[in-house]
Amino acid sequence: MRGKNFPAHRASRQTNQACTIQTMPRDRHPTSRDLARASRKGPSVAEDIMWEFLRASRTGFKFRREHPVGEFRIDFFCREAMLGVEMDGEQHDANRDATRDKELSNLGILIHRIPNRRFLLLDPTPYQDDVATVVNLCEQRSGRKAFPDVMT
């Protein structure tokens, strides 16, 4: 990960040291960015349903849809919690996903995968549980509670 040097914090000014803060990689691949823009225009049914729960900070956390990170594109991304939510259809390759998750984990991003079939009512597990799990993960990783009126 890259870091940026910022002026020293008050406590370290006495030693004149600059502190380094880790930042997200900004070297987004043009194809990743273009794919993300195109994917926002044509989401799957499951992504559309999930976005209705996550959009406009309805969960108490801000999510971005089809967010590019380096060469990857994350279906839903919460910067505050460094949490990515992936909606997995039948076409997902488990080996490729594991490699991708490991690379994103090296950047501090946890990927939570949800099968599309739950949102298509092909699975007996209701998708509201998945939304509650995403909120709980955000709370744990960010260190704060969601808004009081949000389901948990």
Domains (range + CATH), the chain: 24-142 (3.40.960.10)
pTM of the model: 0.71
Q: Of residues 40 and 152, which shows the higher confidence score?
A: 40
Rounded CA separation 78/95 (Å): 24
Which positions ≥6 away from 113 have C-beta within 8 Å? Answer: 86, 88, 97
pLDDT at 111: 97
Per-residue pLDDT tens for 3-61? 444 444 444 444 444 444 445 555 555 666 566 555 556 678 888 889 999 999 999 99
